[in-house]
Amino acid sequence: MSRPLLTVERLEARHGLLQAVRDVSLEIDDGETLALVGANGAGKTTLLRTIAGAHQPSGGRVVFDGEDVTWAPAYRRARMGIALVPEGRKLFPDLTVEENLRVATAARRPGRWDVDEVLEVFPLLQPLRRRHAASISGGEQQATAIGRALMANPRILLLDEVSLGLAPVVVEGLYRSLAGLSEAGVTIVLVEQDLSRAMAVASRVVCMLEGRLVLEGAAGELTREQVTEAYFGLAAGGAR
């Protein structure tokens, strides 16, 4: 039996006195698309940042491809294949779209992703490659941020709030691209507020509440009602 690509064991993370992640254990398989859902303040972003090395844990372990990376710096995790697309995109506004994509080559692993491959997956960026990031729309910036992460040829892509603040038609296009990434075998952890979209694209759904995992199961086996109850803390337990 093959080992998981990523294992989180009893992970704890704090913001000062606030415990944002509480005793979280989770396994993610190579090629899987996992949707991480929960209300604002549930701990989703902190969990992703702790996995990526952008936030220090206060307990537990993070194991990537069999190696304990709990205390490894973010740049080392990036070189191993962990890529985080943070909420808010964090692009360089004065650089062009193509220059923003090429920034990630400093931590590049061998693999298929280059500028041409990214533009094929996100064709809306093709006519914008010479435009400055500050001059393009939110959806185009989000596509650029995901493309920049792909340029490092990651083994796992951590996406925080892909659709936040974007028009529905733009979100639809982004999700078509995410489906293509999943079909290409990219492992994805997706933080998403839109339950319907999350459950449609994911192979598995995990719900967080007050820093804990309260529901976990295959997307095709969970109902929207089960996820909604867990989301708002109306049910104890689930398909774990």
- Whether 190 is covered by a domain: the verdict is yes
Residues 37 and 193: beta-carbon distance below 8 Å? yes
Long-range contacts of 107-114 (CB under 8 A, 24+ apart): 107/75, 107/78, 107/79, 107/152, 108/151, 108/152, 108/153, 109/79, 109/81, 109/152, 109/153, 109/154, 109/155, 110/153, 111/153, 112/153, 113/150, 113/151, 113/152, 113/153, 114/151
Domain hosting 215: range is: 6-231
Residue 139, CA distances (Å) to 38, 104, 146, 221, 233 in order = 23, 20, 11, 31, 32
Residues 77 and 152: beta-carbon distance below 8 Å? no
Q: How confident is the model at residue 203 (pLDDT cuts 50, 70, 90)?
A: very high
- Whether 120 is covered by a domain: the verdict is yes
- Whether 95 is covered by a domain: the verdict is yes
239 Cα distance to chain centroid: 22
- Whether 238 is covered by a domain: the verdict is no
Q: Span 116-127, mean pLDDT?
A: 92
Note the pLDDT of residue 192: 87
| Euclidean distance between CA atoms 199 and 48, whole angstroms | 19
- Whether 240 is covered by a domain: the verdict is no
Q: What CATH number has the domain bearing residue 202?
A: 3.40.50.300
- Whether 237 is covered by a domain: the verdict is no
Least confident of 35-44, 46-55, 156-165: 156-165
pLDDT > 90 in the chain, percent: 70
- Whether 239 is covered by a domain: the verdict is no
Q: For 134-150, how does the pLDDT look when each residue is reduced to its tens digit (9 = 90+)?
A: 999 999 999 999 999 99
Q: Span 179-188, mean pLDDT?
A: 87
Of residues 64 and 236, more confidence is placed in 64
- Whether 57 is covered by a domain: the verdict is yes
Domain count, the chain: 1
